[in-house]
Amino acid sequence: MNGKMDGRADGNGRGYQASGDQHIIEHYHHGEAGSVAWAGVESVRQPTGGAAPMVLRDRTELMERLRAAVAPGASNQVYVLHGMGGCGKTAVARTLFQFATTEGNRVGLWVNAADRTSLRSGMLAVAADRGAAESELSAARNGLRAPADLVWKRLGKSEYPWLLVLDNADDPEILQDGGWLRASPRGTVLVTTRRAGVHWWPHAELHHVGVLPREAAAQVLCDLVPEAGTMEEAAEIADHLGRLPLALTLAGGFLSHQVIDPWTMTKYGRHLDGQGRVDLIDQGATALAREDARHLIARTWQLSLDALADQGVQESTALLRLLACYGADPLPLTLLNSPQINRAVPRARAEVALRGLLDQSLTAVVDAGVRCVQTHALLLASVMADMPREQVAQLTSTAALLLDAVVPAIPERGRQDLRMSLLAPHVLALLHHATDASVVAAALDVAVRLACALHRTGDYLSAWELASAAAAITEPKLGPEHRTVLSAHARTGRALFRLGRFAESETVLRHVLAVRERLFGPDHPDTLDSYFGINHPLQQLGHVTEGITLLRRATDGRERVLGKTHPLTLQARAHLLEFLPIAELAAEVDDAAMPLPQECALHLGPDHAVTLGARLSYALALLRLGRFEAAVEDARQVAEDYDRHHGPDYALTLSAQLLYARAQAALGHMDSAVELMTVVAHRRELSLGAEHPYTTRSYELLEELRAKAACQSADYR
């Protein structure tokens, strides 16, 4: 062997073909990928979205049909409950869920399907509940394996029959795009949605859930406040509220919490008569004949807030308006425990304000893995629409500051923080609501950092969805050449690369690079970041020379602008070791005053992500140079350290073990190399799937090693 190697693209890394038929695969995750250990919602065994009704009124025929759907032997069917917001679809689903898990001997699984992130997180938690391995879940979460396929494979193998509820599926495209909605012979699926179009729900059995009949609606109020009036008085109030279950629940919550001077239903009705109309419609559902849902909700929540103000808890109004700046998904309560909340609600009064909202049934505390507050989407929309314009600007600014306080300024690699995943839909909701340019820019900066944080835990799908959606929302508001909009696009391109969509990644990153060069010049940190980032898809697409040229620009520019020992400079220098021609590589390694890994450890510490990445790149460089004994020891040590820090299924742990196996083979230790490659190939199959190109390539390398081991054994004989 003469050590000569030429580069070629292979999967998500770069392969090196040696004259001695050596193949080394190095995956580009340095400084980017995070721990791939599974983290998700704490449980899918409990419904979310508020408390179950005391008694489910009316709905008799519907419940009979649904109970039959979870009877012994019933399966392989999808049922869809559709109707306007606030009509009680979730209440019906909750009631069936309780019946199925207590009397139907079924496993109950509940997933919030309101947005892509919540749906995917919940469905992967379903897969975990049904026995999916951590490596399978990690690969699905970071986009290296089709998540829906994994979920339905596990549901199909469930030992026990199940009921799966997909709640709040008001955007059916999400279910269709991901292949999430399927039938299974092992269970029954129940969907709640506002969208009634038959084309959204092929092969499903649809059931409309409308407003309640007059008598049943009156009985709901009497269930909640039996001493407040007669059935006829309750019926009159129900008529005023359009017999909408959510409006009735809010009204009952108000009446049941009047202690010093309890209201009668008659008094409550007189106040309803005096309410003005809010000109809104409940989008995506059939409207009421005379009144729309948001108008009816507005009538009830304002009375509740007035009552709280009379009791000295006027801060509840400000808190509800602040919550309206976010989305209807579970919102971590830690977000409200920040000094920044003083701009909207005195921090010392935030607890009292929240308790007031809870007492009036205006919001609920739920467990989504961490303690959260969750408010009905229709109520939030009504509050936001009724908010004075000047307050929208002030409160969205405060909402952005609260998010800014909890999202890391410089996200680190590590295990998934569930709070970060839960914040994604709220950042997007805030970007939709914000109109002031400074607030939009501040919220977008949070969105980019949050996408980066998700990216660095290996949740590439969520990072891509958040970054691309944030860019789409804010580009019309801030302009296509706004610096933070460009950062959102850049983050989108980086996530696309991790998802294996190299051509799309190159297109996005090339556009960002061109604009940054024109606006900021070649030495701006953002432009240098573009030089560095675009190298990865360029290498995979075969544009090797261009990629190296741009990586050199990034390295030289970072050294000039940031200094030779800055982490980003050291990171770029490490990456060069993977791509330099052999002659230049030898000079880079031999002429250095100190080996690059030692330099990184000196300035950053031995366990820093850049240091570990530099050690892996340096071991690869030694192998490329034919210095096998040094390479095998360095590869062994870095593989052990990656395993210690991130676990055996971490992408770079496997890359380091693969490199170690190749170095062992180069020294003739074929049995050890085969044993190690067997583990690598098996773990990649578990985490990526049997058809993934990385898995295929690993097994190809394993067969090559086995063949060489057989030849070696024959020679000895």
Q: How much of the chain exceeds pLDDT 70, in percent?
A: 86
pLDDT at residue 190 above 70? yes
Residue 202, domain CATH = 3.40.50.300
Candidates 168, 110, 165; CA nearest to 285 is 168
Q: Are residues 191 and 225 in the same domain?
A: no
pLDDT for position 415:
65
512-562 per-position pLDDT tens digit: 999 999 999 999 999 999 999 999 999 989 999 999 999 999 999 999 999
Per-residue pLDDT averaged across 618-646, rounded? Answer: 93
What is the overall mean pLDDT for the chain?
84
56 Ramachandran zone, left/alpha/beta (phi>0; psi -120 to 50): beta
Please say whether the beta carbons of 462 and 120 come within 8 A: yes
Q: Are residues 68 and 198 in the same domain?
A: yes
The count of other CB atoms within 10 Å of the CB of residue 435 is 12
Q: Are residues 200 and 273 in the same domain?
A: no
pLDDT for position 260:
61
Q: Are residues 257 and 195 in the same domain?
A: no
pLDDT for position 654:
87
In a domain, 321, yes or no: no
pLDDT for position 11:
34
208-217 per-position pLDDT tens digit: 888 888 888 8
Residue found under tokens 């009724």: 386
Please report which confidence band the pLDDT of residue 700 belongs to, taking 50, 70 and 90 as the band edges: very high
385-414 per-position pLDDT tens digit: 888 888 999 999 999 999 999 999 888 766
Higher-pLDDT residue of 715 and 76 is: 76
Per-residue pLDDT averaged across 598-626, rounded? Answer: 94
Candidates 158, 176, 156, 154; CA nearest to 166 is 176
Share in percent of the chain as helix, strand, coil (round to 5): 60, 10, 30
In order, the DSSP letters of 391-459 are: HHHHHHHHHHHHHHHHS-SSPPP-S--HHHHHHHHHHHHHHHH--SHHHHHHHHHHHHHHHHHHHTTT-
95-112 per-position pLDDT tens digit: 999 999 999 899 999 999
Per-residue pLDDT averaged across 467-479, rounded? Answer: 97
Please say whether the beta carbons of 220 and 231 come within 8 A: no
Which of the listed residues 286, 310, 334 is the one where a domain comes to its end?
310
pLDDT for position 291:
47
Higher-pLDDT residue of 244 and 180 is: 180
Q: Are residues 196 and 219 in the same domain?
A: no
Please report which confidence band the pLDDT of residue 282 belongs to, taking 50, 70 and 90 as the band edges: very low
Q: Total structural domains in the chain?
A: 3
Q: Are residues 66 and 200 in the same domain?
A: yes
Please report which confidence band the pLDDT of residue 709 belongs to, taking 50, 70 and 90 as the band edges: confident
Higher-pLDDT residue of 58 and 689 is: 58
Q: Say how far apart CA 211 and CA 83 lie, in whole Å.
A: 9
Q: Are residues 125 and 228 in the same domain?
A: no
Which of the listed residues 154, 173, 208 is the one where a domain comes to its end?
208
Please report which confidence band the pLDDT of residue 244 belongs to, taking 50, 70 and 90 as the band edges: confident
Strands 205-208 and 187-193: unpaired
pLDDT for position 259:
61
pLDDT for position 51:
61
Q: Say how far apart CA 678 and CA 93 lie, in whole Å.
A: 47
Q: What is the pTM of this model?
A: 0.75
Residue 238 belongs to domain spanning: 214-310
566-586 per-position pLDDT tens digit: 999 999 999 999 999 898 999
pLDDT for position 289:
42
Q: Say how far apart CA 682 and CA 13 lie, in whole Å.
A: 18
pLDDT at residue 163 above 90? yes
Q: What is the DSSP code (8-state) at residue 228?
A: S
Q: Are residues 706 and 645 in the same domain?
A: yes
In order, the DSSP letters of 91-136 are: HHHHHHHHHHHHTS--EEEEEE-SSHHHHHHHHHHHHHHTT--HHH
Q: Which of 381-395, 421-435, 679-693 has the highest mean pLDDT?
A: 421-435
Q: Are residues 149 and 66 in the same domain?
A: yes
168-177 per-position pLDDT tens digit: 898 888 898 8
In a domain, 454, yes or no: no
pLDDT for position 286:
38
Distances (CA, A) of 628 to 22, 519, 589: 12, 47, 15
Burial class for 312, CB neighbours closer than 10 Å (0-12, 13-18, 19+): exposed
Higher-pLDDT residue of 43 and 463 is: 463
Q: Are residues 89 and 181 in the same domain?
A: yes
pLDDT for position 382:
83
pLDDT at residue 8 above 60? no
Please report which confidence band the pLDDT of residue 263 belongs to, taking 50, 70 and 90 as the band edges: confident
Q: Are residues 218 and 196 in the same domain?
A: no
Please report which confidence band the pLDDT of residue 511 belongs to, taking 50, 70 and 90 as the band edges: very high
Please say whether the beta carbons of 388 and 426 come within 8 A: no
pLDDT at residue 196 above 60? yes
CA angle 356–359–361, rounded 5-degree value? 110
**Distance in angstroms between the alpha carbons of the first and the last residue of the chain:** 24
Residue 634, domain CATH = 1.25.40.10
Q: Are residues 665 and 712 in the same domain?
A: yes
Which of the listed residues 255, 280, 310 is the one where a domain comes to its end?
310
In a domain, 89, yes or no: yes
